[in-house]
Structure 1
Amino acid sequence: MRGTIVGLGLACALGASALFGAGGAAADEAARTGGAVADVQVGPRPFFLIEDMANGPLKRRLQRCEGNRLRPSDFSIGHRGAPLQFPEHTRESYVAAARMGAGVLECDVAFTKDLELVCRHAQNDLHTTTNILLTPLAAKCTKPFTPAVLGPDGALVTPASAECRTSDITLAEFRTLRGKMDAFDRGARTPEEFVGGTPAWRTDLYSGPTSGHLMTHRESIELFKELGVKMTPELKSPVVPMPFRGFTQAAYAQKLIDEYRAAGVKPRDVFPQSFDKNDVLYWIRNEPAFGRQAVYLDDANTVADLPSASELENYRREGIRIWAPPVFALLDVNGRNEIVASRAAKNAKAAGLEIIAWSLERSGRLADLDGDFYYQTIERAVSREGDLMRVIDALARDVGVRAVFSDWPAPVTYYANCMNIR
């Protein structure tokens, strides 16, 4: 199952068939290694970040790894693929993340009107993550596009809005859509304006009419198998009342697992996740081979929302082994302005829980942080782009996380290779 992947340069030279180990030297190496070809390429970003770091032992250690051959690492998780630059949950986004050495890829799982599972971050995000409003399927959206209302002075009075759900359309209709960067223009007067709004620190370069290929859950499984990565599907909370057309929450959770079993994926290569503890407990009780590494996602918005030490201990008693909170929950700043493990992180470790952190590369420029969600507990210690590597180091060394989600896996992959984290 675990293999490695074709590097970007090799893929360009040999064509798409090389990516999947079909032909010539690439196929020969894939046959020997049991997966795709080992040639991870992280591009310039990790080196830019390291160069920008303040001088010190960590910077020197990371610099010494330059030029080393890199391999995929399970420490590096592609959050929705690589959505810093590629439309999330698209084939292109997943392949980009794998080429950067993410050893685990995420498909957020929602369902269509005909109860098929598809990769979308939310059941009701088609209006911001696809081109649906520019197609005839816009007529099927739960809430049609409503233009912004501006005051006499041109100030925004009421933002533009729409709501399009995967459950509004069939799988066949879903397949006709194209993915785009997750964004919208609050001041839009037309659907064409609404689908814009991509932040300046991202890009629409890979959101053209011939890219942004959406994926079903089954298709993601087959792609991930070919890429030689492990899989972490997230069961998204429905926005429709359940049961939906007779489809219960338990059936939804079970269908997710059934599609891995049907594809012949070993349970050890799957990390099912949910923000709903009942989903996690369902897998633990009904699918223990998969449930033993089910991930309980924490949706805390502030430190005050985090579970207490006794609550974390209770998670472990209930059979939960992996707790996954946002990055801020795991980090704090000490008196020497060093980034260190938080009290919640220490409590989780004391409770016997493994930890996964989410998600890096979602905050734009670190030098411009101003009340950012992910850095809220450590913002005073973050002042330059290179501090991202300090954050990764603190998560790895002080917190001891199992893995880190990132919208651009390259820096995490580089760090993991440099520190010999597989």
Structure 2
Amino acid sequence: MHRLFAALCLSLPLSAAQAALPVQLGPRPFFLVEDMADGPLKQKLQACAATRTEYKPTLFSIGHRGAALQFPEHSKESYEAAARMGAGIVECDVTFTKDKELVCRHAQNDLHTTTNILATPLAAKCIKPFTAAEFDAEGKLVKPAAAECRTSELTVAEFKSLKAKMDAFNPRARTVAEYMAATPAWRTDLYAGPGTLMTLDEAIALYKKLGVKMTPELKAPSVAMPFDGFSQADYAQKMIDAHKAAGVPPGDVYAQTFFKADVLYWVAHEPEFAKQAVFLDAAEKPADLPTAEQLKQYRAEGVRIVAPPLFALLALDANGQLVPSDYARNAKAAGLDIISWSLERSGPLVGPGNKGFYYQGVGHTLTRDGDLYRVLDVLGRDIGIRGLFSDWPATVSFYANCMGLK
């Protein structure tokens, strides 16, 4: 299994620009290694940290919305940080504006939590204006603060006038300022100043400059389709056409979607790009995951890469040790490559509890932040996934470099 993983990674060469990009990991990977429980994996990573003087970009490390642990997601600054941390692939979630221009946002209707729109005159264009939280006489919250602002209500010029912020909102807010000032304590606003929003075309140009490959995700529209004559097929095609117009070869693009119909559209109409198309799994719990037969059907239909959330790939053996899940084994047996999401998305692992969505079923065994490398080792060496999304790519880049993954 380990040899298969190494061979897969070695089959994905980096461009000359990527090979020349200086990687700056910062202190976090080394902090996590020292936080690990004693054992062979810790010793191996400690030895790497003590002797390695240079780190290189790796396709195993994928910047999830850039480097969203500390930078506003889908901003120029977040993308640049991800590349500097060694991410060989960086993500732009793709949605569209009122004038049907493609832009980078995690959702078409998240501007109220990811930008400063509510503090600008463009708040008047929000489909649901800000409403303050309501409390009863005892101070109990009876109606949370709310808003909804969509890219489809703005022209691309209006979109570009906004600033990205850390994705968060305060449900107890009585004012817009309180609603916007809600970044979790384990994230930071230290780097949230510029927050430069990007169109897809601008992101592609930046990725080419940084020497990274691209994983655009076709996001589900919040509006009914077709939108002013713009169909779902038009949308799927336009995302691919943006890369073609910029001269990006299909081998540098990992087009993603949560909808199999979009993958099959690319299989039928853009077969070269479909070779690396990624079918994201929307399962919210293990019972939602596809069966072995369904995974085989995916492959028969032309899907080549599946991307489930972390919990789909992790299980515990009789001794309570992390091991590959049945889903992981079934996907490999079906001839599918695997990418997973998203490391360092759900906050610190320190303390009790099930660690929420990403670690359901195994979270009670993860009691320190250094356990991230236990998770990574099962994904990387035992399963042999093709790549891993992370909100802080340096963590994954360090592991890939130390394990000799290219």
If the TM-score is normalised by the length of the shorter chain, which range does it land in?
over 0.9
The one of 413, 416, 419 equivalent to 2:397 is 413
- Across the two proteins, how many residue pairs are aligned to each other? 392
The one of 328, 334, 350 equivalent to 1:367 is 350
Q: Which residue of 2 aligns with 1:132?
A: 117
Query: Which digits, 9 at most, give the CA deviation of each residue in 1:310-339, with x for residues without a partner?
Result: 000000000000000000000101122211
Q: Which residue of 1 aligns with 2:98?
A: 113
**1:143 & 1:332 partners in 2: Cα distance?**
42
**1:134 & 1:368 partners in 2: Cα distance?**
37
Alignment of 1:230 with 2:223, yes or no, is no
Q: Which residue of 2 aligns with 1:291?
A: 274
Q: Which residue of 1 aligns with 2:199?
A: 216
What 5-or-longer segments of structure 2 have no aligned partner? 1-11
Alignment of 1:47 with 2:30, yes or no, is yes
The one of 359, 372, 384 equivalent to 1:388 is 372
Q: What one-letter code is carried by the residue in structure 2 that aligns with 1:403?
A: G
Q: Which residue of 1 aligns with 2:286?
A: 303
Report the CA distance between 1:380 and its aligned residue. 2.3
Query: Which digits, 9 at most, give the CA deviation of each residue in 1:225-266, with x for residues without a partner?
Result: 000000000000001000001100000000000000000000
Q: Which residue of 1 aligns with 2:387?
A: 403
Once superposed, which parts of structure 1, at least 4 consecutive aligned residues long, lie more than 4 Å away? 1-4, 33-36
Alignment of 1:256 with 2:239, yes or no, is yes
Instruction: Map 1:231-246 to 2 at 5 A.
Output: 231-246=214-229
Q: What one-letter code is carried by the residue in structure 2 that aligns with 1:158?
A: K
Query: Which digits, 9 at most, give the CA deviation of each residue in 1:169-193, with x for residues without a partner?
Result: 0000001000000000001111111
C-alpha change, 1:109 and 1:316, in structure 2 (3 Å) is same
On the 8 A contact 2:21/2:210 being kept in 1, the answer is no
Q: What one-letter code is carried by the residue in structure 2 that aligns with 1:179?
A: A
Q: Which residue of 2 aligns with 1:98?
A: 83
**2:25 & 2:227 partners in 1: Cα distance?**
43
Q: Which residue of 1 aligns with 2:264?
A: 281
SS at match of 2:95: strand
Bigger relative contact order (CA 8 A; separation at least 6): 2
Q: What one-letter code is carried by the residue in structure 2 that aligns with 1:285?
A: A
Identity %: 62
Query: Which digits, 9 at most, give the CA deviation of each residue in 1:176-233, with x for residues without a partner?
Result: 000000000001111111112111100011112xx10000000000000000000000
C-alpha change, 1:319 and 1:237, in structure 2 (3 Å) is same
TM-score (norm. length: structure 1) = 0.91
What 5-or-longer segments of structure 1 have no aligned partner? 5-32
**1:323 & 1:38 partners in 2: Cα distance?**
29
Q: What one-letter code is carried by the residue in structure 2 that aligns with 1:42?
A: L
On the 8 A contact 1:232/1:272 being kept in 2, the answer is yes
C-alpha change, 1:123 and 1:342, in structure 2 (3 Å) is same
On the 8 A contact 1:42/1:100 being kept in 2, the answer is yes
The one of 174, 195, 203 equivalent to 2:188 is 203
Q: What one-letter code is carried by the residue in structure 1 that aligns with 2:376?
A: I
SS at match of 1:366: coil
- Mean Cα deviation higher: 302-311 or 65-74: 65-74
Q: Which residue of 2 aligns with 1:80?
A: 65
Instruction: Map 1:314-353 to 2 at 5 A.
Output: 314-353=297-336
On the 8 A contact 2:280/2:307 being kept in 1, the answer is yes
SS at match of 1:233: strand
